[in-house]
Amino acid sequence: MPTIEHYKLNLERKEKKLKLAVQANDAAHAQAQALDIARSLQIDKFELTYEKQQDSPLGQLFTKLAFSNFQHTECYPWQGSYVNNNPVIYTLGRRYYIRPLILDYMDMNRDNFVKMSCTCLKCVNPYHNAYKAKQASKLTGGDIKLVVAYRSQGISVSQIAEVLNVHRSTIYRNLSNECLRSRPESHSRS
């Protein structure tokens, strides 16, 4: 089992400062985490030092993300603050919603909407989130790719709708949207 090294990440955003504990396998892993954390918190500058720092709920979350240490079957309730039942943290002079912060940390498309797939409102386990292109969408990005794959194999729209537990009009709508996105733009000559 590899040894865990402890680092302190000094972050600065608009002259506000934060110190986070970072645990990593080695210096390269710590540096990669520092870059991911800086991107997610929209940090102006940061410094990574080789020393121990007291842990915080945000530091614990980033450590779990860095080691992909979430179980598919277990909820991970947020240990910090909440606004309208949404987990948040107040730091660096602003409020960060935890689920979009996780999207930014993982460098996922920020245009996605995060929908909980478990019943625990406090859960921030990324495995319990469904990432959807539209807020009211019934299908996730992965579901839409499945629809296109199933359809290309000749499976009927009714069968696809039954498998994904949606109405067939949802499948037709998503197929037409995918066709529009994949069509090359026509250029006219002048």
Please count the other Cβ atoms lying within 10 Å of the Cβ belonging to residue 147. Answer: 24
Q: What value does the mean pLDDT take over residues 178-185? A: 58
Give 161's contacts (C-beta < 8 A, 6+ positions apart).
167, 168, 170, 171
pLDDT at 190: 44
Give 32's contacts (C-beta < 8 A, 6+ positions apart).
none
Please count the other Cβ atoms lying within 10 Å of the Cβ belonging to residue 69. Answer: 10
Q: Alpha carbon 1 to chain centroid distance?
A: 28
pLDDT at 138: 75
Cα-Cα-Cα-Cα dihedral sign, residues 39, 133, 81, 67: negative
pLDDT at 184: 53
**CATH code of the region 141-182:** 1.10.10
Domains of the chain: which residue ranges?
5-132, 141-182
Question: Is the Cβ–Cβ distance between 131 and 140 less than 8 Å?
Answer: yes
* Confidence tier at 88 by pLDDT (50, 70, 90): very high
pTM of the model: 0.69
* Confidence tier at 133 by pLDDT (50, 70, 90): low
Two structure tokens written together for 137: 């969408």
